[in-house]
Structure formats: C-alpha cells, structure tokens
Amino acid sequence: MTEDSRSQNRILETAWHRYAQLDANAIAAQKRYMRLKRTMAISTVLAVLFAILVDNYSPDVPSWGQIILRVLLILTPITTSIIAAFTNKFQQGQHYLAFRAAAEEILKMIYIYRTALKTSLKRDKWLGDQLAAIQRKLFRAVGGELILKQYRGDLPPYYDASRDYSDPGYSDLSGDEYLTYRLEDQLAWHIKKILKVQQDRKRLQWLILAFAGGGSFLAAWGGPWVVWVALTSAIVSSMAGWEELRGLDMKVGNYSHVVLDLNIVRDQWLMLNEGARTPVAAGKMVLETEKVLWNQNMEFTNAMRKALADAEGDEDQLIQHVIEEAREATAQIKETLYTEVEELIDDGIGEAVARVETSIEASVDTIHEMYTDMRAVDEEELALVESAEEEVLAEDFVDEDFGDDAIEEDFVDEDFSDTPVEDDFVDEVWVDD
C-alpha cells in the first residue's frame, strides 16, 4: 500500500495504532503479572523448605548457617506478602485482561470497517465513535487509572510482507481476502496454541502426580523422611495453583470450540460457488467469524477473571498458613535462644561467684597474716619500753622529777597490750560484705 493511500485513511491508521498500543501493553502486563505470581509460588515453597530445615536440621549446621536459615525463614513469607499486596493493590491481572479485551474489540471493528461497511459513506464516523466508546469502557474497567506505554513499532503490528496470508491492514477486503487474512490466520493461531497449551498441561500434570506420589512414598516410609511430606505437598499445591492461574484446562476447551466454529464458517464459505460469493454472503461470513472470535474472547476474559479471583483467595490462605508456620518457628527459635542465654548467664554467675569467694578467702588470709605480723611488732616494742622504764627507775629519775608519783608497770599493758583485736573482726568487715 502506498503512502498516499495510507494518508487518505487516517482513521484506519489511528485504529491500528490504538490496537497495537493496547496489544503491546496487554502482553507486557500479562508477563509482569505472571512473573509476580511465579515468584510468589516459588517463595511459598521456599518458606516451607526453610521451616523444615530450621526445625529439624539447625543443630547439624554451623552457627552462621543457622543464622542464614533463620533470616531466610523470616524474610520469605514477608516477601511473599509484599508481592501479593502489590499485585492486589494495582490489579495487575485485571488490567491485562481489560487491555486484551479492548484490543480485540478494536480489531473486530477494523475488520468490520474493511469488509461489511466498505460501501458505507458513514463508516469513518462509525469507526471513530467505536474507538472512543471502547477507550471509555477501558478507562472505567481499570478504575480510572489508564496508564499505557506508547507504541512506536510498525503498523499493523504483525504484518510480514514475506508471508502471503499476512494482512497489509489498510485496503478493503473481499470475502476470499478476509478468509485468508482473518479467518484462516486465526484458525492457524488457535490450532498452534491449543497444541502448546495441551503440552504444557500434560507436563504440569505429570509433575503434580510425581510429587504427590513422592509425598505418599515418604509418608509410608516413615522415620525422619516424614517431615519432607510438607514440602512435596507445598510443591503440589503451587503447581496446581499455577495450572489453574494459567487457565490451561479452560484454554483447551475454549480454543477447541473456536477451532470447531471457525472450521464450520470456513467450510460454509468454501462450499459456495463463485456466483454465490456475493458481498452480502461475504458480510454474513465476516459477522459470523467476528461473533465467534468475540464470544471466545469474552468467555476467555470471564473465565480468567474468575480464575484470578480464586487464585488470589487461595494465595491469601496459603500466605497466612506460611506466615503462621514462620511465627511458630520464630517462637521456637526465641525459646531456644532464651534457654541458651539463661544457661550462659547461670554458668557465668556461678563462675563469677566462685572467683569472688576465692578472692575473698585469699584477701582474708593476707589480712590475717598482716595482723599477726603487726601484733608481733607491737609486742617487741612494748618489751623494749618496759626495759627502758626499769633502767630509768633504777636511776631514781622519776623520784627526782615527779616525787612519789610512780609510774605503774601495767600502764603500757592497760593502754596497749590489753587492748585485744578479735580474730573475727576481719571476717565481719570483709567477708560479710
């Protein structure tokens, strides 16, 4: 298609741009939402794993390993709760479904514009009104917070000139062209998608059965392996929730129905001879095809919304269960720590008391030795004083200076020698303290 013909139909270019923008944002929002949900499922399983390790294997690992396990046990449910709160707060799942529904509705209007209304003079106004109405509905569906990234790619977004059945996007279409560009393209997409979904569903179901069987085996084996049944149960629950969140069972049925209906419409058109393939018949085929695709989109959207609501409820219960387990494990950890601290304190106090008693006994012995040495010194000094007094008395020194007032020999003994120092004095002063 030339640039002149494209510029003459700005309304169609605007419609393709709006479709491409909503389609790109729907894909990005879906990937972001699924990534958050996958992280939550993995975190839930890890929380159970850390709880088992802390409760049963902490004594077998070094102290730094115990600290790491305890920190991970506490942080994992907190992280899971934060992700769940973020996902629910900003309605990541609901937004991508709203973007997808709006994009598919715009695509439906584009093909009706190019086929059933190609002879109508009012089709430009009709398409413009439809674009405005769809965007208003989208604004209400996302709660008044329509945050979209700009699209700067090619228009139409999936056009590939190397493929014969790829739609250039701007020309009016005949019945056969619509059959090639729209109906058969959607038929091939759904057939390819249903095969992939079926493969993913089988893989998940085999894994679920394998872990469920492993849990039953561990429970029957008994012994220390029984504690790992909780981990296998958590894995089974997470995988089952992941399968339900992706809507694999619903997609298989939904896509199968679409393939059936599109094959019927295709066969009805191909069974018409050339003369019967009139614009009226082409318009009927277009409306039937778009009705099939739109009903499939609505059924898919409603089923996915229900699956998201159920998954959020299950996740809330699972998160609460994990948090309760983490709290119980934390309480056990605290109790163990308190017991260890009390034992350390008791041991420390006992050692301190023993050291103080030993120090006091040594101090008492030292003081007693000092007291004995001092008493011996005092007795020697008193003996010298008595000897000196006898010498003075012999020379009548006292009689000459003091007359008849004699100094009694017991004077020193009364003031000094007869002052006893009880042995219990030291004990009363130091030991009792």
> For 222-278, where are the alpha helices, taking DSSP H only?
229-246, 248-270
- Contact criterion met (CB below 8 Å) for 22 and 106: yes
Q: How far apart are CA 85 and CA 63, in angstroms?
A: 34
Q: Which residues contact 98 (CB under 8 A, 6 or more apart)?
A: 138, 141, 142
106-110, 221-225, 357-361, range with greatest mean pLDDT: 106-110
Q: Which residue has the higher pLDDT, 272 or 1?
A: 272
Q: What is d(CA 245, CA 235) in angstroms, rounded to the nearest whole number?
A: 15
**What is the pLDDT, as a whole number, of residue 419?**
42
pLDDT value at 127 more than 70:
yes
The rounded distance, in Å, linking the Cα atoms of 77 and 70 is 12
Q: Max CA-CA distance within the chain?
A: 175
How far apart, in whole angstroms, are the C-alpha atoms of residue 163 and residue 273?
27
- 31-65 residues labelled b (16+ CB within 10 A) or e (exposed): ebbbebbeebbebbbbbbbbbbbbbeebeeeeeee
Q: In this predicted structure, what is the pLDDT of residue 90?
A: 63
117 vs 392, more confident = 117
Nearest to 312 by CA among 147, 85, 145, 155: 85
pLDDT for 358 equals: 61
Is the model's pLDDT at 26 over the cut of 70? Answer: yes
Q: How confident is the model at residue 129 (pLDDT cuts 50, 70, 90)?
A: very high
Contacts of 8 (CB under 8 A, 6+ apart): none
Q: Give yes or no for residue 312 having a pLDDT over 90.
A: no
For the chain, helix, strand, coil in percent to 5 are: 85, 0, 15
Per-residue model confidence (pLDDT) at position 210: 95
**406 DSSP 8-state letter:** P
Residue with tokens 């995988």: 239
CB contact at 8 A, 275 and 214:
no
Scanning 160-247, the segments in alpha helix (DSSP H) are 175-178, 184-221, 229-246
Indicate the range of 48-57, 122-131, 188-197, 340-349 predicted with least confidence: 340-349
pLDDT at 409: 45
* pLDDT tens-place string over residues 375-394: 554 455 445 545 544 444 44
pLDDT averaged over every residue in the chain? 77
Q: Are 226 and 218 in contact (CB under 8 A)?
A: yes
Query: With contact defined as beta carbons under 8 Å apart, do 101 and 19 qualify?
Result: no
Q: What is the pLDDT of residue 68?
A: 87
Q: Residue 383's pLDDT is what?
A: 55
Burial class (CB in 10 A: 0-12, 13-18, 19+), 12: buried
Rounded-to-10 torsion of CA 288, 291, 292, 298 = 180
pLDDT exceeds cutoff 90 at 325: no
Residue 67: pLDDT band (50, 70, 90) is confident
Length of the chain: 433
334 against 138, higher pLDDT: 138
Pick the closest to residue 173 from 109, 117, 104, 103 (CA basis): 117
Residue 257 structure tokens: 């129905």
Please give the average per-residue pLDDT across 289-318, as a whole number.
75
For residues 151 and 141, is the Cβ–Cβ distance under 8 A?
no
Q: How far apart are CA 354 and CA 362, in angstroms?
A: 12
Question: Does the pLDDT value for residue 400 go beyond 90?
Answer: no
pLDDT mean over 366-381: 49
Long-range CB pairs of 331-339 (<8 Å, 24+ gap) are 332/55, 333/54, 333/70
Q: Are 3 and 127 in contact (CB under 8 A)?
A: no
* Mean pLDDT, residues 302-315 taken together: 67
What pLDDT digit, counting tens, does each position of 161-180 carry? 888 888 999 999 999 999 99
Query: Average pLDDT of 267-286?
Result: 94
Percent of the chain whose pLDDT exceeds 70 = 67
216-255 per-position pLDDT tens digit: 998 888 888 888 999 999 999 999 989 888 889 999 999 9
CA distance linking residue 339 with residue 341, whole number of Å: 5
The rounded percent of the chain whose pLDDT value lies above 90 is: 41
Please, are residues 12 and 124 in contact by the beta-carbon 8 Å criterion? Answer: no
CA 63 to chain CA mean position, Å? 25
pTM of the predicted structure, to 2 decimals: 0.68
Cβ neighbours around 154 below 10 Å, total: 12
DSSP symbols for 60-94: GS-HHHHHHHHHHHHHHHHHHHHHHHHHHHHTHHH
In angstroms, the CA 50 to CA 73 distance is 5
Calculate mean pLDDT across residues 268-282.
Answer: 93
pLDDT > 80? residue 58: no
Q: Work out the end-to-end distance of the chain between its first and last CA atoms, rounded to an integer number of angstroms.
A: 107
Cis peptide before 156 (omega within 30 of 0): yes
For the residues 63-86, what does the mean pLDDT come to?
Answer: 83
Task: Reply yes or no on whether the pLDDT at 352 is more than 50.
Answer: no
